[in-house]
Every structure is written in structure tokens, then in C-alpha cells.
Amino acid sequence: MKRVIGYIILAAALPVMFTTGCQKKNGENVVKMLSTVTAVGEKIEVEVIESEYAFGPYWVITDENTVFERGGRKIKRSDISAGDTVEIYYSGQVMLSYPPQIVAHRINVK
């Protein structure tokens, strides 16, 4: 019986744990990750500097909806290069692969 109660508490706590600290934008969770770009190819490879949920290497997937900015001005994806420090905004969803992968909503080059 104690085990069942433990599972119920865990099931109730998990959604709270994964959404705490997230910002909301248009009703969606938005998580911020500060990273250094290590390579740019089909995916942008980054090393996380600071994030509430992430550490280590990540692959960042971009699509036609991803916004790229530098100093408040829009730029092209091709303007991002290895060595850049970037703020990446994403939904908080992470693909369980190695390295983990995320889909960026916005990338701000510092």
C-alpha cells in the first residue's frame, strides 16, 4: 500500500517539477538555455553554460519558425558560427538521445 501511495505522489509531482521555472509565451512553456556554439551544420551543436534543466552538449534543431536575433535585430541562421554565445529558447521538451536534442523557438546571439 505504501508503494502505491508513493507512485501516486510521484505521478502528481512530476508535471510540477518539469514546469516549475518555465516562462509562458502564448500559453506554451518557454525554457531558456545559455550556451556556446561548438559547431554549425544541419543541427547547431552547443555546450550548455547555464540552464535550470540542462548541462553538457546539446544539438539544437531549427526550422522555418525559429527566430534568430543579435542585439534585438533579426539575423539569418547562417550568421551563427562556432564560438558564439547564444540564448536558446525552447519548449522544455528534450529528445532522449545522445547528445540530447531540442527544437529552438528563438536563438539570440550575445
Residue ranges per structural domain of the chain: 22-109
Residue 51 burial (10 A CB sphere; 0-12, 13-18, 19+): middle
As assigned by CATH, the class of the 22-109 domain is mainly beta
Residue 106 contacts residue 55 (beta carbons within 8 Å)? no
pLDDT in tens, 64-105: 999 999 999 999 999 999 999 999 999 999 999 999 999 999
pLDDT in tens, 32-72: 999 999 999 999 999 999 998 889 999 999 999 999 999 99
Interacting residues of 84 by C-beta distance below 8 A, sequence separation 6+: 36, 37, 109, 110
Separation of alpha carbons 68 and 65, rounded Å: 10
